[in-house]
Chains A and B, each alone.
Chain A
Amino acid sequence: MAEMLMLSSSDSIELNKFENKIRESRSFNWVLVRDTLRFLRKSKARKSNLVSKYGLKLVNEYISKLDAQESYDIIEQVLVSLLECGDDENANKLFNILKSKFGRESVRVQRLQAMIHESNFQLKDALDIYNSILEKYPADQMSYKRQVSIFKCQGNLTKAIQVLNTYLQIFMCDIEAWLELSSLHITFLSYSTALICLEEVILNAPINYIFYIKYAETLYSLGGIDNYNMAIQYYTHSLELNSPTEIDVLGHPPTYLPAIYGIIMSIFSLSDENVQIKESQLKLMEWAQNHLILITNKYSPDKLTFVKHFIDSTDIFNKE
Protein backbone atom coordinates (compact mmCIF):
# COMPACT_ATOMS: atom_id res chain seq x y z
CA MET A 1 0.00 0.00 0.00
CA ALA A 2 2.79 2.33 0.83
CA GLU A 3 4.35 2.25 -2.60
CA MET A 4 1.30 3.83 -4.16
CA LEU A 5 1.85 6.89 -2.04
CA MET A 6 5.57 6.97 -2.58
CA LEU A 7 5.39 7.34 -6.32
CA SER A 8 5.67 10.95 -7.40
CA SER A 9 3.42 12.06 -10.23
CA SER A 10 6.32 12.52 -12.66
CA ASP A 11 7.44 8.97 -11.89
CA SER A 12 4.01 7.54 -12.51
CA ILE A 13 3.76 9.39 -15.83
CA GLU A 14 7.09 7.95 -16.92
CA LEU A 15 5.97 4.53 -15.79
CA ASN A 16 2.84 4.80 -17.91
CA LYS A 17 4.96 5.74 -20.89
CA PHE A 18 7.13 2.66 -20.43
CA GLU A 19 4.11 0.45 -20.01
CA ASN A 20 2.36 1.74 -23.13
CA LYS A 21 5.50 1.41 -25.20
CA ILE A 22 5.96 -2.20 -24.16
CA ARG A 23 2.37 -3.14 -24.80
CA GLU A 24 2.29 -1.40 -28.16
CA SER A 25 5.54 -2.70 -29.62
CA ARG A 26 4.80 -5.60 -31.92
CA SER A 27 8.01 -7.53 -31.55
CA PHE A 28 9.82 -8.14 -28.28
CA ASN A 29 12.10 -5.18 -27.65
CA TRP A 30 14.58 -6.45 -25.07
CA VAL A 31 16.34 -3.12 -24.59
CA LEU A 32 13.04 -1.46 -23.75
CA VAL A 33 12.10 -4.21 -21.31
CA ARG A 34 15.51 -3.99 -19.65
CA ASP A 35 15.16 -0.23 -19.24
CA THR A 36 11.66 -0.61 -17.86
CA LEU A 37 12.83 -3.13 -15.30
CA ARG A 38 15.67 -0.81 -14.37
CA PHE A 39 13.22 2.04 -13.87
CA LEU A 40 10.94 -0.13 -11.77
CA ARG A 41 13.82 -1.21 -9.54
CA LYS A 42 14.78 2.40 -9.00
CA SER A 43 11.29 3.83 -8.44
CA LYS A 44 10.19 0.79 -6.38
CA ALA A 45 6.84 0.76 -8.12
CA ARG A 46 4.99 -2.51 -8.08
CA LYS A 47 3.95 -3.85 -11.47
CA SER A 48 4.00 -7.59 -10.91
CA ASN A 49 2.01 -8.49 -14.00
CA LEU A 50 4.17 -6.48 -16.34
CA VAL A 51 7.44 -7.64 -14.80
CA SER A 52 6.53 -11.30 -14.66
CA LYS A 53 5.20 -11.42 -18.21
CA TYR A 54 7.90 -9.53 -20.07
CA GLY A 55 10.70 -10.07 -17.58
CA LEU A 56 10.40 -13.82 -17.79
CA LYS A 57 10.80 -13.69 -21.55
CA LEU A 58 13.80 -11.41 -21.18
CA VAL A 59 15.43 -13.77 -18.71
CA ASN A 60 14.65 -16.88 -20.73
CA GLU A 61 15.71 -15.70 -24.16
CA TYR A 62 17.96 -12.68 -23.86
CA ILE A 63 19.98 -13.39 -20.73
CA SER A 64 23.22 -13.63 -22.73
CA LYS A 65 22.84 -10.05 -23.96
CA LEU A 66 22.51 -8.63 -20.49
CA ASP A 67 25.30 -7.29 -18.38
CA ALA A 68 26.35 -10.14 -16.08
CA GLN A 69 25.98 -8.15 -12.86
CA GLU A 70 22.62 -6.75 -13.83
CA SER A 71 21.22 -10.02 -15.09
CA TYR A 72 21.15 -11.48 -11.57
CA ASP A 73 19.38 -8.41 -10.24
CA ILE A 74 16.82 -8.86 -12.98
CA ILE A 75 16.38 -12.54 -12.20
CA GLU A 76 15.71 -11.67 -8.57
CA GLN A 77 13.24 -8.97 -9.56
CA VAL A 78 11.36 -11.24 -11.96
CA LEU A 79 11.34 -14.05 -9.41
CA VAL A 80 9.60 -11.90 -6.81
CA SER A 81 7.03 -10.74 -9.37
CA LEU A 82 6.38 -14.33 -10.42
CA LEU A 83 5.71 -15.22 -6.81
CA GLU A 84 3.28 -12.34 -6.52
CA CYS A 85 1.44 -13.60 -9.60
CA GLY A 86 1.39 -17.16 -8.27
CA ASP A 87 3.62 -18.70 -10.95
CA ASP A 88 5.59 -20.98 -8.62
CA GLU A 89 6.92 -23.24 -11.34
CA ASN A 90 8.87 -20.57 -13.19
CA ALA A 91 9.86 -18.93 -9.92
CA ASN A 92 11.46 -22.17 -8.80
CA LYS A 93 13.40 -22.42 -12.07
CA LEU A 94 14.83 -18.96 -11.60
CA PHE A 95 15.55 -19.69 -7.97
CA ASN A 96 17.66 -22.69 -8.96
CA ILE A 97 19.75 -20.47 -11.25
CA LEU A 98 20.47 -18.10 -8.39
CA LYS A 99 21.09 -20.89 -5.91
CA SER A 100 23.63 -22.61 -8.12
CA LYS A 101 25.38 -19.30 -8.74
CA PHE A 102 25.55 -17.88 -5.23
CA GLY A 103 25.11 -20.95 -3.06
CA ARG A 104 22.80 -21.72 -0.19
CA GLU A 105 24.64 -19.50 2.30
CA SER A 106 23.93 -16.24 0.52
CA VAL A 107 21.50 -14.10 2.49
CA ARG A 108 19.68 -12.96 -0.60
CA VAL A 109 19.18 -16.52 -1.77
CA GLN A 110 17.94 -17.53 1.67
CA ARG A 111 15.51 -14.66 1.67
CA LEU A 112 14.16 -15.70 -1.72
CA GLN A 113 13.79 -19.25 -0.43
CA ALA A 114 11.71 -17.86 2.43
CA MET A 115 9.57 -15.89 0.01
CA ILE A 116 8.87 -19.06 -1.96
CA HIS A 117 7.79 -20.68 1.30
CA GLU A 118 5.51 -17.71 1.90
CA SER A 119 3.83 -18.08 -1.46
CA ASN A 120 3.16 -21.74 -0.64
CA PHE A 121 1.67 -20.67 2.70
CA GLN A 122 4.45 -22.37 4.65
CA LEU A 123 4.59 -19.32 6.83
CA LYS A 124 6.34 -20.98 9.73
CA ASP A 125 9.26 -22.14 7.60
CA ALA A 126 9.56 -18.66 6.16
CA LEU A 127 9.55 -17.07 9.61
CA ASP A 128 12.27 -19.47 10.77
CA ILE A 129 14.51 -18.49 7.87
CA TYR A 130 14.00 -14.77 8.52
CA ASN A 131 14.75 -15.28 12.19
CA SER A 132 17.96 -17.12 11.45
CA ILE A 133 19.04 -14.38 9.03
CA LEU A 134 18.32 -11.72 11.63
CA GLU A 135 20.36 -13.59 14.22
CA LYS A 136 23.38 -13.44 11.95
CA TYR A 137 22.72 -10.02 10.44
CA PRO A 138 20.59 -7.95 12.82
CA ALA A 139 20.56 -5.05 10.35
CA ASP A 140 18.80 -6.90 7.56
CA GLN A 141 15.91 -4.56 6.76
CA MET A 142 14.19 -6.79 4.22
CA SER A 143 13.84 -9.70 6.62
CA TYR A 144 12.18 -7.47 9.19
CA LYS A 145 9.75 -6.21 6.61
CA ARG A 146 8.91 -9.68 5.34
CA GLN A 147 8.14 -10.72 8.91
CA VAL A 148 5.75 -7.81 9.26
CA SER A 149 3.98 -8.83 6.08
CA ILE A 150 3.67 -12.43 7.28
CA PHE A 151 2.00 -11.29 10.48
CA LYS A 152 -0.27 -9.06 8.45
CA CYS A 153 -1.20 -11.99 6.24
CA GLN A 154 -2.08 -14.05 9.31
CA GLY A 155 -4.29 -11.21 10.50
CA ASN A 156 -2.08 -10.74 13.55
CA LEU A 157 -1.87 -6.97 13.28
CA THR A 158 -0.85 -6.39 16.90
CA LYS A 159 2.23 -8.52 16.36
CA ALA A 160 2.92 -6.73 13.08
CA ILE A 161 2.84 -3.38 14.86
CA GLN A 162 5.15 -4.75 17.53
CA VAL A 163 7.76 -5.89 15.00
CA LEU A 164 7.51 -2.62 13.10
CA ASN A 165 8.08 -0.71 16.29
CA THR A 166 11.27 -2.63 17.05
CA TYR A 167 12.35 -2.10 13.47
CA LEU A 168 11.72 1.64 13.64
CA GLN A 169 13.77 1.96 16.80
CA ILE A 170 16.75 0.90 14.71
CA PHE A 171 15.88 2.48 11.36
CA MET A 172 14.29 5.77 12.27
CA CYS A 173 14.48 7.29 8.81
CA ASP A 174 12.56 4.65 6.91
CA ILE A 175 9.56 6.52 5.52
CA GLU A 176 7.94 3.43 4.09
CA ALA A 177 7.95 1.73 7.44
CA TRP A 178 6.43 4.75 9.16
CA LEU A 179 3.74 4.86 6.49
CA GLU A 180 3.03 1.18 6.97
CA LEU A 181 2.79 1.67 10.72
CA SER A 182 0.41 4.57 10.24
CA SER A 183 -1.79 2.53 7.96
CA LEU A 184 -1.86 -0.30 10.49
CA HIS A 185 -2.97 2.16 13.15
CA ILE A 186 -5.60 3.55 10.80
CA THR A 187 -6.90 0.01 10.32
CA PHE A 188 -7.44 -0.08 14.06
CA LEU A 189 -9.07 3.36 13.83
CA SER A 190 -6.50 4.78 16.27
CA TYR A 191 -6.08 7.97 14.32
CA SER A 192 -4.10 9.90 16.92
CA THR A 193 -1.32 7.29 16.92
CA ALA A 194 -1.37 7.25 13.13
CA LEU A 195 -0.83 11.01 13.18
CA ILE A 196 2.41 10.60 15.12
CA CYS A 197 3.69 8.18 12.47
CA LEU A 198 2.68 10.52 9.68
CA GLU A 199 4.54 13.34 11.40
CA GLU A 200 7.70 11.28 11.09
CA VAL A 201 6.94 10.71 7.43
CA ILE A 202 6.50 14.43 6.80
CA LEU A 203 9.72 15.19 8.66
CA ASN A 204 11.59 12.84 6.38
CA ALA A 205 9.90 13.94 3.16
CA PRO A 206 8.88 17.54 3.67
CA ILE A 207 8.21 18.32 0.01
CA ASN A 208 5.91 15.47 -0.86
CA TYR A 209 2.41 16.95 -1.07
CA ILE A 210 0.66 13.59 -0.72
CA PHE A 211 1.71 13.13 2.89
CA TYR A 212 0.21 16.46 3.88
CA ILE A 213 -3.13 15.38 2.42
CA LYS A 214 -2.85 12.10 4.25
CA TYR A 215 -2.14 13.93 7.50
CA ALA A 216 -5.04 16.31 6.95
CA GLU A 217 -7.44 13.47 6.18
CA THR A 218 -6.44 11.67 9.34
CA LEU A 219 -6.89 14.87 11.34
CA TYR A 220 -10.33 15.30 9.85
CA SER A 221 -11.24 11.71 10.68
CA LEU A 222 -10.34 12.43 14.27
CA GLY A 223 -12.88 15.28 14.30
CA GLY A 224 -13.24 18.32 16.53
CA ILE A 225 -12.94 22.05 15.86
CA ASP A 226 -9.18 22.30 16.39
CA ASN A 227 -8.51 19.35 14.13
CA TYR A 228 -10.68 20.75 11.35
CA ASN A 229 -8.76 24.01 11.53
CA MET A 230 -5.45 22.17 11.45
CA ALA A 231 -6.64 20.00 8.56
CA ILE A 232 -7.35 23.12 6.50
CA GLN A 233 -3.79 24.31 7.12
CA TYR A 234 -2.30 21.05 5.96
CA TYR A 235 -4.54 20.89 2.91
CA THR A 236 -3.53 24.37 1.87
CA HIS A 237 0.13 23.58 2.40
CA SER A 238 -0.25 20.57 0.16
CA LEU A 239 -1.76 22.85 -2.49
CA GLU A 240 1.22 25.15 -2.11
CA LEU A 241 3.57 22.27 -2.93
CA ASN A 242 1.45 20.96 -5.77
CA SER A 243 0.45 24.17 -7.34
CA PRO A 244 -2.95 24.66 -9.01
CA THR A 245 -1.61 27.51 -11.15
CA GLU A 246 -0.06 25.01 -13.52
CA ILE A 247 -3.41 23.57 -14.52
CA ASP A 248 -3.15 24.63 -18.15
CA VAL A 249 0.25 23.14 -18.81
CA LEU A 250 -0.49 19.79 -17.20
CA GLY A 251 -0.92 16.92 -19.62
CA HIS A 252 -3.08 14.99 -17.19
CA PRO A 253 -5.91 15.72 -14.75
CA PRO A 254 -4.66 17.58 -11.67
CA THR A 255 -3.65 15.58 -8.63
CA TYR A 256 -4.78 17.95 -5.91
CA LEU A 257 -8.52 17.24 -5.96
CA PRO A 258 -8.48 15.55 -2.54
CA ALA A 259 -7.08 18.76 -1.10
CA ILE A 260 -9.84 20.87 -2.62
CA TYR A 261 -12.55 18.48 -1.50
CA GLY A 262 -10.92 18.33 1.89
CA ILE A 263 -10.92 22.08 2.28
CA ILE A 264 -14.60 22.28 1.43
CA MET A 265 -15.48 19.46 3.81
CA SER A 266 -13.42 20.90 6.66
CA ILE A 267 -14.90 24.36 6.40
CA PHE A 268 -18.37 22.88 6.08
CA SER A 269 -17.81 20.78 9.20
CA LEU A 270 -16.58 23.87 11.04
CA SER A 271 -19.75 25.74 10.20
CA ASP A 272 -21.69 22.67 11.29
CA GLU A 273 -20.12 23.05 14.72
CA ASN A 274 -21.49 26.61 14.81
CA VAL A 275 -18.06 28.16 14.69
CA GLN A 276 -17.69 31.63 13.28
CA ILE A 277 -15.86 31.13 9.97
CA LYS A 278 -12.92 33.43 9.48
CA GLU A 279 -12.81 35.89 6.62
CA SER A 280 -9.79 34.13 5.08
CA GLN A 281 -11.53 30.79 5.27
CA LEU A 282 -14.58 32.17 3.50
CA LYS A 283 -12.35 33.34 0.68
CA LEU A 284 -10.66 29.96 0.56
CA MET A 285 -14.02 28.25 0.40
CA GLU A 286 -15.16 30.39 -2.49
CA TRP A 287 -11.93 29.77 -4.36
CA ALA A 288 -12.16 26.01 -3.77
CA GLN A 289 -15.76 25.85 -5.02
CA ASN A 290 -14.96 27.78 -8.18
CA HIS A 291 -11.85 25.77 -8.84
CA LEU A 292 -13.67 22.49 -8.37
CA ILE A 293 -16.24 23.46 -10.98
CA LEU A 294 -13.50 24.60 -13.32
CA ILE A 295 -11.66 21.29 -13.13
CA THR A 296 -14.81 19.21 -13.48
CA ASN A 297 -15.86 21.23 -16.49
CA LYS A 298 -12.56 20.62 -18.13
CA TYR A 299 -11.94 16.95 -17.42
CA SER A 300 -15.31 15.28 -16.80
CA PRO A 301 -18.21 17.57 -17.79
CA ASP A 302 -20.70 14.70 -17.50
CA LYS A 303 -20.16 14.63 -13.73
CA LEU A 304 -20.97 18.31 -13.32
CA THR A 305 -24.44 17.75 -11.85
CA PHE A 306 -23.00 15.66 -9.00
CA VAL A 307 -20.27 18.13 -8.24
CA LYS A 308 -22.74 21.02 -8.27
CA HIS A 309 -24.99 19.08 -5.95
CA PHE A 310 -22.03 18.47 -3.68
CA ILE A 311 -21.21 22.16 -3.60
CA ASP A 312 -24.83 23.07 -2.92
CA SER A 313 -25.15 20.66 -0.03
CA THR A 314 -21.94 21.83 1.61
CA ASP A 315 -22.56 25.48 0.94
CA ILE A 316 -22.05 27.75 3.90
CA PHE A 317 -22.88 30.99 2.13
CA ASN A 318 -26.60 30.48 1.63
CA LYS A 319 -27.10 28.95 5.03
CA GLU A 320 -26.52 32.18 6.87
Chain B
Amino acid sequence: MSISITTEALGKIHLHSFKYPSSSVNGILIGKADKNSILVKDCIPLFHTQTLLPMFEVAMIQIEKYCRDNNIDMVGFYHSNQSLSIDLEPEPISKKISERLYNELNNMCSLMVTKIDDTCTSGLVLLERAGSDNWVKNRKALIQ
Protein backbone atom coordinates (compact mmCIF):
# COMPACT_ATOMS: atom_id res chain seq x y z
CA MET B 1 0.00 0.00 0.00
CA SER B 2 1.41 3.39 -0.88
CA ILE B 3 0.66 6.49 1.11
CA SER B 4 1.35 10.00 -0.12
CA ILE B 5 0.78 13.17 1.77
CA THR B 6 0.66 16.75 0.55
CA THR B 7 2.96 19.37 2.03
CA GLU B 8 -0.01 21.26 3.36
CA ALA B 9 -1.26 18.31 5.38
CA LEU B 10 2.23 17.39 6.57
CA GLY B 11 2.83 20.95 7.68
CA LYS B 12 -0.45 21.12 9.52
CA ILE B 13 0.24 17.92 11.41
CA HIS B 14 3.67 19.01 12.54
CA LEU B 15 2.65 22.55 13.38
CA HIS B 16 -0.16 21.18 15.50
CA SER B 17 2.29 19.12 17.49
CA PHE B 18 4.75 22.04 17.70
CA LYS B 19 2.10 24.34 19.05
CA TYR B 20 1.36 21.98 21.94
CA PRO B 21 4.73 20.37 22.63
CA SER B 22 3.75 19.09 26.06
CA SER B 23 0.47 17.41 25.11
CA SER B 24 -0.58 14.52 22.97
CA VAL B 25 -2.26 15.83 19.84
CA ASN B 26 -4.43 14.12 17.26
CA GLY B 27 -6.65 14.72 14.27
CA ILE B 28 -8.34 13.27 11.23
CA LEU B 29 -6.72 12.88 7.81
CA ILE B 30 -8.81 13.58 4.75
CA GLY B 31 -8.12 12.96 1.08
CA LYS B 32 -8.67 10.19 -1.43
CA ALA B 33 -8.27 6.48 -0.96
CA ASP B 34 -8.66 3.42 -3.16
CA LYS B 35 -7.67 -0.20 -2.72
CA ASN B 36 -3.90 0.09 -2.60
CA SER B 37 -3.09 3.76 -2.36
CA ILE B 38 -3.98 6.61 -0.07
CA LEU B 39 -3.52 10.28 -0.80
CA VAL B 40 -3.72 12.55 2.22
CA LYS B 41 -4.71 15.98 0.99
CA ASP B 42 -5.48 17.74 4.22
CA CYS B 43 -6.07 17.14 7.88
CA ILE B 44 -8.37 18.40 10.57
CA PRO B 45 -6.64 18.86 13.92
CA LEU B 46 -8.85 17.77 16.81
CA PHE B 47 -7.42 17.50 20.30
CA HIS B 48 -4.42 18.72 22.19
CA THR B 49 -5.69 17.81 25.63
CA GLN B 50 -7.14 14.50 26.63
CA THR B 51 -9.35 12.91 24.02
CA LEU B 52 -12.73 12.24 25.57
CA LEU B 53 -15.77 10.83 23.87
CA PRO B 54 -18.35 13.69 23.73
CA MET B 55 -16.32 16.23 21.78
CA PHE B 56 -14.88 13.51 19.58
CA GLU B 57 -18.35 12.42 18.53
CA VAL B 58 -19.31 16.03 17.86
CA ALA B 59 -16.22 16.45 15.73
CA MET B 60 -16.89 13.30 13.74
CA ILE B 61 -20.43 14.35 12.90
CA GLN B 62 -19.20 17.72 11.65
CA ILE B 63 -16.28 16.28 9.71
CA GLU B 64 -18.65 13.85 8.00
CA LYS B 65 -20.68 16.78 6.74
CA TYR B 66 -17.56 18.66 5.68
CA CYS B 67 -16.36 15.69 3.67
CA ARG B 68 -19.71 15.26 1.97
CA ASP B 69 -19.87 18.94 1.04
CA ASN B 70 -16.33 19.08 -0.31
CA ASN B 71 -16.39 15.70 -2.01
CA ILE B 72 -13.46 14.32 -0.07
CA ASP B 73 -13.06 11.24 2.15
CA MET B 74 -11.80 10.52 5.59
CA VAL B 75 -8.67 8.47 5.07
CA GLY B 76 -7.16 8.09 8.48
CA PHE B 77 -5.98 9.39 11.78
CA TYR B 78 -2.81 11.05 13.01
CA HIS B 79 -1.61 11.40 16.56
CA SER B 80 1.43 11.96 18.68
CA ASN B 81 2.23 10.75 22.14
CA GLN B 82 2.76 13.14 24.99
CA SER B 83 6.48 12.46 25.07
CA LEU B 84 8.54 12.00 21.98
CA SER B 85 10.69 9.03 22.99
CA ILE B 86 11.17 7.04 19.87
CA ASP B 87 10.29 3.57 21.09
CA LEU B 88 7.07 4.32 22.93
CA GLU B 89 3.88 2.58 21.97
CA PRO B 90 0.90 4.62 20.79
CA GLU B 91 -1.47 5.59 23.56
CA PRO B 92 -4.48 3.29 24.11
CA ILE B 93 -6.98 5.91 22.97
CA SER B 94 -5.16 6.26 19.63
CA LYS B 95 -5.28 2.52 19.11
CA LYS B 96 -8.96 2.53 19.90
CA ILE B 97 -9.80 5.33 17.49
CA SER B 98 -7.69 3.71 14.76
CA GLU B 99 -9.60 0.50 15.31
CA ARG B 100 -12.95 2.30 15.07
CA LEU B 101 -11.95 4.02 11.84
CA TYR B 102 -10.58 0.76 10.45
CA ASN B 103 -13.99 -0.82 10.88
CA GLU B 104 -15.85 2.15 9.44
CA LEU B 105 -13.72 3.08 6.43
CA ASN B 106 -12.78 1.08 3.34
CA ASN B 107 -9.15 1.94 3.48
CA MET B 108 -7.40 4.00 6.11
CA CYS B 109 -4.01 4.68 7.62
CA SER B 110 -2.95 5.57 11.11
CA LEU B 111 0.07 7.84 11.30
CA MET B 112 2.12 8.67 14.33
CA VAL B 113 4.28 11.75 14.76
CA THR B 114 7.90 11.03 15.68
CA LYS B 115 11.22 12.78 15.61
CA ILE B 116 12.29 14.15 12.26
CA ASP B 117 15.73 12.75 11.43
CA ASP B 118 17.65 11.09 8.61
CA THR B 119 15.91 7.76 8.93
CA CYS B 120 12.50 9.34 9.04
CA THR B 121 12.48 12.56 7.06
CA SER B 122 8.72 13.02 7.12
CA GLY B 123 8.54 12.70 10.89
CA LEU B 124 5.66 10.27 10.55
CA VAL B 125 5.50 6.50 11.00
CA LEU B 126 2.77 4.24 9.80
CA LEU B 127 0.97 2.06 12.29
CA GLU B 128 -0.01 -1.37 11.11
CA ARG B 129 -2.89 -3.35 12.45
CA ALA B 130 -1.79 -6.43 14.35
CA GLY B 131 -4.95 -8.10 15.52
CA SER B 132 -7.93 -6.33 16.98
CA ASP B 133 -7.22 -3.27 19.10
CA ASN B 134 -3.51 -3.63 18.55
CA TRP B 135 -1.41 -1.41 16.30
CA VAL B 136 2.34 -1.61 15.90
CA LYS B 137 4.78 0.72 14.22
CA ASN B 138 6.06 -0.17 10.79
CA ARG B 139 9.31 1.68 10.34
CA LYS B 140 9.89 0.45 6.83
CA ALA B 141 6.80 1.88 5.23
CA LEU B 142 7.72 5.04 3.38
CA ILE B 143 5.50 8.02 3.42
CA GLN B 144 5.98 10.29 0.47
Binding site for B on A (CB under 8 A): 1, 4-5, 46, 84, 152-155, 183, 186-189, 216-218, 220-221, 223, 231, 258, 261-262, 265-266, 305-307, 309-310, 313-314
Contact = CB atoms under 8 A, between A and B. Distances in A.
A221 B54 contact: yes
A220 B52 CA distance: 8
A217 B58 contact: no
A265 B54 CA distance: 6
Contact of A305 (B65, B89, B93): B65
Contacts of A305: 65, 69
Interface in B62-115: 62, 65-66, 69, 82-83, 85, 87-89, 91-93, 96
User: Interface size bucket, B side?
Assistant: 20 to 34
B83 A217 contact: no
A220 B85 contact: no
Given A187-B92, A220-B52, 7 more contacts: A152-B82, A217-B53, A217-B55, A218-B52, A220-B53, A305-B69, A306-B66
Given A1-B22, A155-B89, A306-B66, A217 B54 contact: yes
Given A155-B89, A265-B57, A305-B69, A183 B50 contact: yes
Given A153-B85, A265-B58, A1 B50 contact: yes
A202 B45 CA distance: 29
Nearest to A149: B83
Nearest to A262: B54
B51 to A, nearest CB: 8
- The 6 A-B residue pairs whose C-beta atoms are closest, nearest first, are A309-B65, A221-B53, A217-B52, A306-B62, A155-B88, A153-B83
Interface of B: 21-23, 49-50, 52-55, 57-58, 61-62, 65-66, 69, 82-83, 85, 87-89, 91-93, 96
A157 B120 CA distance: 26
A306 B53 CA distance: 19
A306 B58 contact: no
A5 B48 CA distance: 12
A218 B93 CA distance: 13
Contacts of A153: 83, 85
Given A220-B53, A261-B55, A152 B23 contact: no
A152 B58 contact: no
Contact of A307 (B53, B62, B69, B89): B62
Contact of A306 (B21, B22, B57, B65): B65
Contacts of B82: 1, 152, 187
30 contacts: A1-B22, A1-B23, A1-B50, A4-B23, A46-B22, A152-B83, A153-B83, A153-B85, A155-B89, A183-B50, A186-B93, A187-B82, A188-B92, A189-B92, A189-B96, A216-B54, A217-B55, A218-B52, A220-B54, A221-B53, A221-B54, A223-B53, A265-B57, A265-B58, A306-B66, A307-B62, A309-B61, A310-B58, A310-B61, A314-B61
Contacts of B66: 306
Nearest to A85: B21
Contact of B65 (A220, A258, A310): A310
A262 B54 CA distance: 6
B126 to A, nearest CB: 20
A55 to B, nearest CB: 18
A155 B53 contact: no
B62 A221 contact: no
Contacts of B58: 261, 265, 310
Given A152-B83, A309-B61, A314-B61, A4 B52 contact: no
